Structure 1
Amino acid sequence: MKDARTQIDAVRRTVGRRALDTGEASVVTISRSYPTTVDDLWDACTDPERIPRWFLPVTGELRVGGRYQLEGNAGGEILTCDPPHSFTATWEFAGATSWIEVGIAADAHGGARLELAHIAHADGDFWEQYGPGAVGIGWEGGFLGLALYLESGSAVDPAEFQQWATSPEGVRFHTASGNGWYDADVASGTDAEQARARADRTIAFYTGT
């Protein structure tokens, strides 16, 4: 496993707002480049045989209008798909519905860049308590798994990854990720004291402290 700092520095994080027909939503966006082609990165993110090698097993119909289910996690409906550039889907978990927008493009260094926006209603206690890091840290772990898979060519072992997540290096990774989302939260206009409090709650959840 590469050191946490290298992985943290590879990621760009932003937090914003968007008006939806159903009300205002928060937009948590994460992106990073990978040393591969656009076509290969698209395939790694959409092929049901490759997704479990770095993320979670997935079942369902991976087509527009089809429904998917990630093992032990979210499911939803695929809304749009423009291979090999983008797709959108609902993200349905624990009785709540949010949305994801995934984009892939060539970067300036000969690789490919993945950008994921997670869009959720900004009202409610959960956002106030935990802020953008609640989903941001989780997605950052997924982006790390993808990096390990693409760079090594070998599937990430879930048990080994979970063991690493609770190790000192894993705790440093989640802490640094949470602090990165704190910075993005403040940059979006959130009061620094409020952003710090909810980042600390989220870091404590992910690190078991």
Structure 2
Amino acid sequence: MNDLLDALEAVHRRVHAGTDEDAVAVVLERRYPAGPADVWDALTAPDRLARWFLPVTGDLRPGGRFRTEGNADGEILACDAPHRLVVTWGAPESIVSVRLTADGPDTRLELEHAVPAAYVPDAGGALYVGPGWDEALVTLGLYLAGDTIPPDLGTSPQMYEYGGHTVRAWESALRRSGMATDEQVDAAVAVSLQQFAVRPQDGDGA
């Protein structure tokens, strides 16, 4: 698990304005050393999802609804194997889109989460969303590499350390976007560090 921080640079992050009623959208891109069919199966097969992400139940087909254990539920809007998956995430207006593209023998994954205005006070809300998907992409990488994912990885000191670095990476992406004021960015960083970089038993240290 010492290679968690090495994965930080493997992800390209950006923030942009959403469409319709969306306040902000975060985009993560990462390349994986596996073919699209294998990555797609890891993203959609319930038994494999439970090994690196969360247990998922429901009617797993276009138009069906799903539930993730301890997290969001939603509806499957599109499922075009092995290239495109679109779902709602927690609310009908909160849309997660995943695209897979072959890159030689590898796969380039792009994940976009468009967050509705009701979820966030301003564009700083990108920092409340992006780091959580960073954790998912890093555990997917470990899984595809054949590593065993410890059940407590998400609450381990290594993952909280990684979370702190991802918050700072998203801070840079948000500042590059020009969508938020310095005050909005600073406030979002403070909240996100508490969420992603501080274990509950650590109190208010970061």
TM-score w.r.t. length of structure 2: 0.88
TM superposition outliers: structure 1 runs of 4+ over 3 Å: 126-130
Q: Is it true that 1:128 corresponds to 2:126 in the alignment?
A: no
- Residue correspondence of structure 1 range 50-65 to structure 2 within 5 A: 50-65=48-63
User: How far did 1:157 drift?
Assistant: 2.5
The offset of 1:175, in angstroms, is 1.0
Q: Extract unaligned runs of 5+ from structure 2.
A: 199-203
Aligned residues of 2:99 and 2:110 also touching (Cα < 8 A): yes
Structure 2 counterparts to residues 99-110 of structure 1, below 5 A:
99-107=95-103, 110=105
Residue 98 (1) aligns with residue 94 (2) = yes
Partner of residue 37, structure 1: 35
| Deviation string, structure 1 residues 42-91 (Cα, Å, up to 9, x no partner) | 11001111101100000011100111100111111101111100011111
Aligned residue type for 2:122: E
**Residues of 1 paired with 2:183 and 2:4: CA distance?**
26
Q: What residue in structure 2 maps to residue 139 of structure 1?
A: 133
> Match of 2:102, as an amino acid?
A
| Structure 2 partner of 1:175 | 164
Aligned partner letter, 1:101? S
* Structure 1 residue runs without a partner (length 5+): none
Residue 195 (structure 1) aligned to one of 182, 185, 197: 185
| TM-score, scaled to structure 1 | 0.87
Q: Which amino acid aligns with 2:31?
A: S
Amino acid at match of 2:134: E
Matched position secondary structure for 1:120: strand
* C-alpha displacement of 1:172: 2.4
Distance 2:124 2:185 in 1: 9
1:10 corresponds to: 10
Taking the TM superposition and a 5 Å limit, the aligned residue runs for 1:61-76 are 61-76=59-74
What SS does the aligned partner of 1:132 have?
A: helix
The alpha-carbon deviation at position 130 of structure 1 amounts to: 5.3
User: In percent, how many aligned pairs have the same letter?
Assistant: 36
Q: In the aligned structure 1, how far is the partner of 2:117 from the partner of 2:155?
A: 33
RMSD of aligned Cα (Å): 2.0
Contact 2:124 2:184 survives alignment (8 Å): no
Between Structure 1 and Structure 2, how many residues are aligned? 198
Structure 2 residue aligned with 1:81, among 76, 79, 82? 79
Counterpart secondary structure, 1:2: coil
Distance 1:123 1:70 in 2: 22
Whole-Å Cα distance in 2 between the matches of residues 32 and 184 of structure 1? 15
What amino acid maps onto 2:24 in structure 1?
A: S
